[in-house]
Chains A and B, each alone.
Chain A
Amino acid sequence: RKEVEQDPGPFNVPEGATVAFNCTYSNSASQSFFWYRQDCRKEPKLLMSVYSSGNEDGRFTAQLNRASQYISLLIRDSKLSDSATYLCVVEDTGRRALTFGSGTRLQVQP
């Protein structure tokens, strides 16, 4: 079983749409969760951390379900500039390392 699993997409949505991505992780002992954004051939950039109570940052909302071991990211009012690959990232328990999912590609269309 993959450690962090994501639907690769692509998700093609019109501007203004709401889109949601899910991610599942295999290690139930994981404590820290993140969403990163990666533009084509660029470095990953932290979008937001994911907290147990759920958290929101502007148009972005992240949720964590520990019982089902999944993480979600909701993007409201999609912009063209949101087009990117969204990486689900989980702390590698026991060491200072991050385990990345393969990413979900989002394409926002005019």
Chain B
Amino acid sequence: EPEVTQTPSHQVTQMGQEVILRCVPISNHLYFYWYRQILGQKVEFLVSFYNNEISEKSEIFDDQFSVERPDGSNFTLKIRSTKLEDSAMYFCASSDTGTVREKLFFGSGTQLSVL
């Protein structure tokens, strides 16, 4: 089965630093997503992206967050100035259509630890 690839698997950073989380979605997919899961809590939607622009974003996705598809294969999530509460597992996902009924393929996640 095709898979979504995320790097790095673990990222440790100091509070206030910028981090970029990277994802390679499945090659023929058109819709891309970031979700996050704080330890012991539920998975939460951050943002969806289609046709080189944000389609939807949640209340969590404030000005500190940005997404980009820089080269047609990678999809990145940038956090400009990390806070302690940004520590979480970040999951990238992709699908080939925009309907949520379509199966989302999740990557294995990047565990972000902000110290």
Contact = CB atoms under 8 A, between A and B. Distances in A.
Contacts of A66: none
Interface stretch (A53-61, A72-80, A95-103): A95-103
A97 B109 contact: no
A42 B44 CA distance: 15
A108 interface: no
B91 interface: yes
A91 interface: yes
Chain B interface residue number, banded? 20 to 34
Given A43-B91, A44-B91, A95-B56, A100 B44 contact: yes
B103 A42 contact: no
B48 A100 contact: no
Interface residues of A, number: 21
Nearest to A90: B100
Interface in B61-76: none
Interface of B: 31, 33, 35, 41-45, 48, 55-56, 58, 89, 91, 98-101, 103-104, 106-109, 111
